[in-house]
Structures are given as C-alpha cells and as structure tokens.
Structure 1
Amino acid sequence: MALEKDYLSMAKAGDSEAFIKIFEQYKPIVFKMKGKYYVQELDVDDWQQEGRLVLFQSIQTYAPDRGISLGSFFRMNLERHIYTLLRKQGAVKRKLNHQACSLDERLETVGETVLLSASQSSDIFLDYIQIRSELETYFQSLSAFETRIFTHYLVGNSYKKMALIEGCLELKVRNGLDRARRKLKEVIC
C-alpha cells in the first residue's frame, strides 16, 4: 500500500516509470472494458492508449481522502470516457445513415413510423447511458455502510436481518436505508 502511494505521488509529479508501473497494474481494467464494449476503429493499441490517457487524468485528479481506491476511480473514469466515445460513434453512425438515404425516400417507402423508430432507439440508447452514469454517481455518494445496507435491501433482507449481519441496531439500519433512498431520489429527480 505504501509502495503504491509512492508510485502515485511520483506519477503525479511526472515520473513516467512510476506511471508505467501503475498502468501495468491497472491494465486488466482496460482489457475488461475492451471485452465489454465495442468501439469502432479501436484496436488493442488504441485501447491501451485511451487507458493511459484516462489513467493519467485520473492520477492527476485522484483524492485518496474521498474513500475510493485509485483502481475504482480509474475504472469509473474509463467507463465514462468509453460512453463518450460510444456517443460520438453513434452520432457519426446516425449521420452516415442519414446521408445514405434521404428522408423523403424513407418516408415514401416506410411511412411516418420511420421517424418514431429512429428517434426512439437513439433516445433509449442515450437514456441508458445517462442512467448508468447517474447510478455510478449515486453509488459513489453512498457511504460504505449505506452501500452495504442498500445491497441487503435489494436482496430482500429484513431490517432485523440487516442489523444482525451488520452487528448494529435496527434504528441504525433504518436511518442508513433512509439516507440511501433520499440520495437515490436526488439522483433520479
């Protein structure tokens, strides 16, 4: 842990060897994302380059006192970066599709429903990305206790069972779950 802090401070100061050591440690995150998302035009080297870029930015803005590990912070930033790339890819794809066939031609052959299906699928994709991003923000806003309690709640555990598992009073469980619910409402609304 102390060795990682040393590398972190050295990389933050511009030491490229320390940065390389940190990147090698977190490179599996990049490959996991590569397997999870398909971004056109990105080969293995491009994925690594994007990962290096995001890791560099993550190291520069990382604050250990926020209660999140560098690895989690990097993963979150990389995933958001990938969402941005996917949005751009989707915009280019829609633009190319529009250029391939005129709207008038599509209206004649398919009818007005073509307008609904194209806009709905685009909106659904953007809504999905926004919801995922908001949920990540939500889970970052929770304390460790609130996260555990919310997870117990999602599984269907009772207040009594949660209190027993956490080794605390039911009142503390209720308060923690109330805070988690309030934070979720803030993110959703």
Structure 2
Amino acid sequence: MSFERIYRKVQGIVHKARKDYYIKLWEKSDWDQEGMLILYQLLQSQPGIEEDPIKLYSYFKVKFRNYIKDKVRRQESQKRKFDRMNHEDISELSHLVAERGMLSDDKVLLRDMLRRYRQQLSEKDQVHYEALISGQRFKGRRQMVQDLQGYLSDFKD
C-alpha cells in the first residue's frame, strides 16, 4: 500500500487537530506535512501497523496529538514570549523606527513616551496595553493602537 493511501486514512485526524489547536503561522499544508512526518515515523517504529486499521488510527492519533500539544506548549511557554508576538504589531509601528535602527537617545525618548502613555491609562487599559505589547488580541485593540499612534505622532520623522 502506498504512503499516500495510508496517509489519506489518517488525514481526518490531522484536520480535526487543526480545528482544535492553533499553531502560529501554520497553514493547512503545514499540518499535512507534519502529519505525514509523524505517520512516517510511526511506520518506521511499528512495521506492519498499516495492516491493522484500528491500531494505525489509535497509534497515529496519540502520537500526532502529543506532537501538536508539544508544539502548542512550546509556542505558549513564557520563555518564548517573543515568539508569540504578532508580527503585525511591528509593521503597524515600524514607521516610527528608523531603517538602520534607532539612536540611543531616540530609544530613551521612545521608552519614556511609552512609560508616560502607560501611566496615564486606567488600570483596565494598562492590562490591555500589556496585552498589546505582548501581541495578544483583545476587544478594543485596534482603538488602542490608533491612540498609541496618535500619542507617538511627535516621534515620527
């Protein structure tokens, strides 16, 4: 039996996991590729498993979901906080940063302006500000970005 035919048998497990979990920047083809990789490893470690469909489904499901859970844990771990930041936040504020990097005095000025902006926020908005800085989503995020851009408008070239 060809590898593609065997993969089609377990592909539903991959697509269900895709609906259940979110992994940053993964598209459908990435999910299929990882599913094929896990299936290949399973076929190598358990020769003949493709002959027993029940065993194939259960072994693959456990192995694939554990793999995905590890990916999600890694993505969400505190040590990798930078990896979780949404790259769109950088593009929304990139016009504020010079192309070859900021000078030290500009960095100090920007940090001071951000500190003052945060201090003038309510407690609830400070929580939202922290969520914005760490790349999280929340209701009112777009408005806060616009407010912050307005506040930092003097900082533009």
The structure with higher relative contact order (CA 8 Å, sep 6+) is: 2
Which TM-score band applies after superposition, normalised by the shorter structure? 0.3 to 0.5
Question: TM-score of the superposition, structure 2-length normalised?
Answer: 0.46
